[in-house]
Amino acid sequence: MTTPPTTELEKLALEAMAASGFVLRGIQVHSHRIPMTVQVLVQRADGGDISLDECASMSAPLGEAIEAASLLLEPYVLEISSPGVSDELQDDRDFRSFRGFPIEVEFRDAKGETVCSEGLLLERDADALHLNLRGRIKRIPRPDVISVRLVTPTT
Protein backbone atom coordinates (compact mmCIF):
# COMPACT_ATOMS: atom_id res chain seq x y z
CA MET A 1 0.00 0.00 0.00
CA THR A 2 1.46 3.36 -0.97
CA THR A 3 0.94 6.42 1.16
CA PRO A 4 -0.14 9.50 -0.81
CA PRO A 5 2.04 12.59 -0.47
CA THR A 6 0.66 14.62 2.42
CA THR A 7 1.63 17.88 0.70
CA GLU A 8 -0.67 17.06 -2.23
CA LEU A 9 -3.51 16.25 0.16
CA GLU A 10 -2.85 19.52 2.02
CA LYS A 11 -3.05 21.45 -1.24
CA LEU A 12 -6.40 19.85 -2.10
CA ALA A 13 -7.72 20.52 1.42
CA LEU A 14 -6.67 24.18 1.26
CA GLU A 15 -8.39 24.59 -2.11
CA ALA A 16 -11.57 22.90 -0.86
CA MET A 17 -11.65 25.16 2.22
CA ALA A 18 -10.83 28.39 0.41
CA ALA A 19 -14.42 29.69 0.38
CA SER A 20 -15.65 27.98 3.53
CA GLY A 21 -14.18 30.16 6.27
CA PHE A 22 -12.11 27.28 7.68
CA VAL A 23 -8.37 26.90 8.11
CA LEU A 24 -6.38 23.70 7.88
CA ARG A 25 -4.70 22.67 11.14
CA GLY A 26 -3.17 19.45 9.86
CA ILE A 27 -3.50 16.24 7.86
CA GLN A 28 -2.51 12.75 8.93
CA VAL A 29 -2.63 9.66 6.77
CA HIS A 30 -2.98 6.43 8.73
CA SER A 31 -1.98 3.90 6.09
CA HIS A 32 -1.65 1.09 8.66
CA ARG A 33 -5.43 1.03 9.15
CA ILE A 34 -7.77 -1.02 6.99
CA PRO A 35 -9.13 0.85 5.21
CA MET A 36 -6.60 3.69 5.19
CA THR A 37 -7.77 6.77 7.12
CA VAL A 38 -7.14 10.36 6.04
CA GLN A 39 -7.68 12.63 9.03
CA VAL A 40 -8.09 16.34 8.28
CA LEU A 41 -8.09 18.80 11.18
CA VAL A 42 -9.90 22.09 10.53
CA GLN A 43 -10.78 25.16 12.52
CA ARG A 44 -12.90 28.23 11.80
CA ALA A 45 -10.85 31.11 10.39
CA ASP A 46 -12.26 33.43 13.07
CA GLY A 47 -10.92 31.13 15.79
CA GLY A 48 -14.34 29.91 16.91
CA ASP A 49 -15.21 26.31 17.57
CA ILE A 50 -16.31 24.22 14.61
CA SER A 51 -19.51 22.19 14.77
CA LEU A 52 -20.10 18.62 13.68
CA ASP A 53 -22.32 19.88 10.84
CA GLU A 54 -19.53 22.18 9.62
CA CYS A 55 -17.08 19.26 9.63
CA ALA A 56 -19.59 17.20 7.66
CA SER A 57 -20.06 20.04 5.16
CA MET A 58 -16.35 19.83 4.27
CA SER A 59 -16.41 16.08 3.68
CA ALA A 60 -18.11 16.04 0.26
CA PRO A 61 -16.05 18.81 -1.42
CA LEU A 62 -12.77 17.42 -0.13
CA GLY A 63 -13.70 13.83 -0.96
CA GLU A 64 -14.63 14.87 -4.49
CA ALA A 65 -11.33 16.76 -4.88
CA ILE A 66 -9.34 13.72 -3.72
CA GLU A 67 -11.25 11.46 -6.13
CA ALA A 68 -10.79 13.87 -9.06
CA ALA A 69 -7.03 14.05 -8.39
CA SER A 70 -6.76 10.24 -8.21
CA LEU A 71 -4.41 10.52 -5.24
CA LEU A 72 -5.77 7.54 -3.33
CA LEU A 73 -6.01 4.32 -5.27
CA GLU A 74 -6.91 2.13 -2.27
CA PRO A 75 -10.12 2.35 -0.23
CA TYR A 76 -9.98 5.03 2.46
CA VAL A 77 -12.01 6.75 5.13
CA LEU A 78 -12.02 10.55 5.19
CA GLU A 79 -12.35 12.07 8.67
CA ILE A 80 -12.89 15.81 9.04
CA SER A 81 -12.60 16.98 12.63
CA SER A 82 -11.49 19.79 14.87
CA PRO A 83 -8.25 19.62 16.85
CA GLY A 84 -8.73 17.69 20.07
CA VAL A 85 -7.36 18.10 23.55
CA SER A 86 -4.40 15.82 22.89
CA ASP A 87 -3.09 18.27 20.35
CA GLU A 88 -0.33 20.75 20.83
CA LEU A 89 -1.29 24.28 21.82
CA GLN A 90 -0.29 26.52 18.94
CA ASP A 91 -2.03 29.85 18.65
CA ASP A 92 -3.11 32.58 21.07
CA ARG A 93 -6.67 31.23 21.10
CA ASP A 94 -5.42 27.83 22.33
CA PHE A 95 -3.44 29.44 25.14
CA ARG A 96 -6.43 31.58 26.22
CA SER A 97 -8.88 28.66 26.02
CA PHE A 98 -6.78 26.31 28.14
CA ARG A 99 -5.65 28.64 30.96
CA GLY A 100 -5.56 26.66 34.20
CA PHE A 101 -5.28 23.31 32.40
CA PRO A 102 -2.41 20.87 33.02
CA ILE A 103 0.24 21.06 30.31
CA GLU A 104 3.61 19.61 29.44
CA VAL A 105 6.18 22.07 28.15
CA GLU A 106 9.26 21.00 26.24
CA PHE A 107 11.88 23.74 26.22
CA ARG A 108 15.60 24.53 26.13
CA ASP A 109 17.10 25.41 29.53
CA ALA A 110 19.95 27.88 30.13
CA LYS A 111 22.49 25.20 29.12
CA GLY A 112 20.67 24.59 25.82
CA GLU A 113 19.47 21.14 26.92
CA THR A 114 15.93 19.98 26.18
CA VAL A 115 13.82 19.76 29.34
CA CYS A 116 10.18 18.85 30.01
CA SER A 117 8.05 20.32 32.79
CA GLU A 118 4.45 19.69 33.75
CA GLY A 119 2.28 22.26 35.45
CA LEU A 120 -0.79 24.42 35.05
CA LEU A 121 -0.92 26.92 32.21
CA LEU A 122 -1.21 30.44 33.56
CA GLU A 123 -0.71 32.46 30.38
CA ARG A 124 1.47 33.12 27.38
CA ASP A 125 2.38 36.73 26.75
CA ALA A 126 4.63 38.35 24.16
CA ASP A 127 7.78 37.39 26.06
CA ALA A 128 7.17 34.18 27.97
CA LEU A 129 5.05 31.18 28.88
CA HIS A 130 3.94 31.29 32.52
CA LEU A 131 3.50 27.94 34.24
CA ASN A 132 2.35 27.09 37.78
CA LEU A 133 4.63 24.36 39.14
CA ARG A 134 3.13 23.25 42.47
CA GLY A 135 2.44 26.82 43.55
CA ARG A 136 5.60 28.36 42.11
CA ILE A 137 5.46 30.38 38.92
CA LYS A 138 7.95 29.41 36.25
CA ARG A 139 8.55 31.83 33.40
CA ILE A 140 9.91 30.24 30.21
CA PRO A 141 11.04 32.66 27.48
CA ARG A 142 9.01 32.09 24.30
CA PRO A 143 12.07 31.54 22.08
CA ASP A 144 13.09 28.63 24.35
CA VAL A 145 9.71 26.87 24.14
CA ILE A 146 9.75 23.89 21.76
CA SER A 147 6.22 22.55 22.32
CA VAL A 148 3.26 22.81 24.68
CA ARG A 149 0.59 20.16 24.91
CA LEU A 150 -2.32 19.36 27.16
CA VAL A 151 -1.93 16.39 29.47
CA THR A 152 -4.28 14.35 31.62
CA PRO A 153 -3.91 15.25 35.30
CA THR A 154 -2.17 12.53 37.32
CA THR A 155 -4.02 13.18 40.58
- Condensed to tens digits (0 to 9), the pLDDT of residues 38-75 reads 888 888 877 777 788 888 888 888 888 888 888 888 88
Contact 45, 23 (CB under 8 A): yes
**92-150: same fold as 6-81?**
no
CATH classification code of 6-81 = 3.30.300.70
CATH topology of domain 92-150: SH3 type barrels. (2.30.30)
**Higher per-residue pLDDT: 153 or 149:** 149
pLDDT band at 144; cut points 50, 70, 90: very high
22/37 Cα distance (integer angstroms): 21
pTM equals 0.54
